[in-house]
Structures are given as structure tokens and as C-alpha cells.
Amino acid sequence: MPTKRFLLLTPIVLLFAAGVFMRSATKTTPDIACATADFSGVPALDALAIFEGRELSVPTAIAAAPSHTDVLGVASPSERWIEVDLSDQKLYAWDGSSLFLESAISSGLPQTPTPTGEFRVWIKLRATKMEGGVGRYYYNLPNVPYVMFFENENIPGWRGYGIHGTYWHNDFGTPRSHGCVNAPTKIAEKLFYWASPELPDGRYTAKSTESDPGIRVIIHE
């Protein structure tokens, strides 16, 4: 009797195990969107990047020392905010009720979606290396420029969602990312120096504080 029960249960166990394996094998949504372990903001000297199975050169200008003047606006920094429209693949930067800039962007792919909601930038990095994904989705991107990581009570900062410049594709207006908001590098640069927290002169990173909170980011369909 125990042998017969074992023989009857074996196919069920095997089917269950196969289902678990297939789900894990086909799961492409990572726990971390734009993975980085370097929060110094200091550009590296890496010359080679990998994206979607292609090797490409890292632009040398990204490694230049930071140099900027504060961007003057209509409203105070506390009244500035960024809107990301996933349906239109557009980003709008609002200076109070005035439009500071707008741009096409690339948000997350269906298997790695960009989260919706209201967020705050918690850290800005002049540049950092991002690496993650598996198989054809593997990426190794040194010196991702003008990074602004955001978070809220539901999406903690370690998940790695942010807005940043992009040198590995130019297909803005179409979802292409692992969850972050890819912006043209020139647009990301303007946002980086316009948005709070303020980046001190000569520094590569700025973290939000009570007196200098990160800019509000609203993402919607």
C-alpha cells in the first residue's frame, strides 16, 4: 500500500517541481532595478560596457570632474517636482507651475516595470557602475551618469530605482530599462543640477537631509 501511494504521488511531486523550476527559470523581474554597490559618485576609468549582449565604449567625457553653476528657477527648490508619464514615455520637470523641461524617456520593460507612485530622491550620484540581469538581459555599465535614486514607504532605496543619463541606447520614447527611468544624458545633467538635494561644489554625491530634502518624483501611467 505505501509503495502504491508513493507511485501515485511521484508524478504530482515531479509536476510541482517542474512548475517551480519553470517559474524560476522564466522569472526576469529582479529584486533590484539598477544595481550598484558604489555610492561614491566618482567616475571610474572603465572603457568598456556591456548591454544586451553588445560591447560598447564608455564616453570619456563622463569621467570629467564636476563643474557647474546652480540652475536658477521660477520657484524655490521645495516647489520643484518631476513627473514621469509611463503611457507617453515622457518626463516633465515642473518649476512650480512652470515647465522647466520635458523629454522622451525609456522606462522599464514589461518584465521589469518602473513602479508608479510618489517618491523622493534620496541620493544623487555624479556617476556609478550598474551591473545586473541574467542571460541576454545582463548589463555591465560603468559610469552611468547623473543618477538620482528615489524611494518611498513601499519601494525602499536599496531596490535601485532612479532617473539617470543613458549612453548605451538612443531609443527614447520606448520602454528599454530594467526599471529605472532612462533619460538622454544632456537632460539627466540638467535635472541633476536643478533638482534637490543640492550638490556642493567639487563633490560627486549628495544625500537628502531634513533641511535639503530630495525632489518629489511622481510616476503614473
User: Other C-beta atoms within 10 Å of 201: how many?
Assistant: 10
> Which grid cell sits at 159?
531596490
Q: Give the phi and the psi of residue 80 in degrees, each rounded to 5.
A: -85, 145
Q: What DSSP assignment string belongs to 135-198?
A: GGG-EEEEEEEEEEEEE-SSS-GGG--EEEEESS---TTS--BSSSEEEEHHHHHHHHHHSSSP
- pLDDT given at position 52: 84
Tell me the CATH number of domain 36-220, given options 2.60.120.260, 2.40.440.10, 3.30.70.1350, 1.20.140.10. Answer: 2.40.440.10
Report the pLDDT value the prediction gives residue 69, as an integer from 0 to 100.
Answer: 61
pTM (2 decimals)?
0.83
Q: Give the pLDDT of the chain (221 residues) as one tens digit per residue.
A: 555 444 444 444 333 344 433 333 334 444 688 878 888 898 887 889 999 888 999 987 776 766 666 676 777 788 999 999 999 999 999 999 999 999 999 999 999 999 999 999 999 999 999 998 888 878 999 999 999 999 999 999 999 999 999 999 999 999 999 999 999 999 999 999 999 999 988 899 999 999 999 999 999 99
Give CA–CA dist 214/87, Å, rounded: 25
pLDDT of residue 73: 73
Residue 29, classed as helix, strand or coil, is coil
Domain boundary assignment for the chain: 36-220
φ/ψ bin of 209: left (φ > 0), alpha (ψ from -120 to 50), beta (otherwise):
beta
Give the Cα separation of 130 and 43 in Å (integer).
12
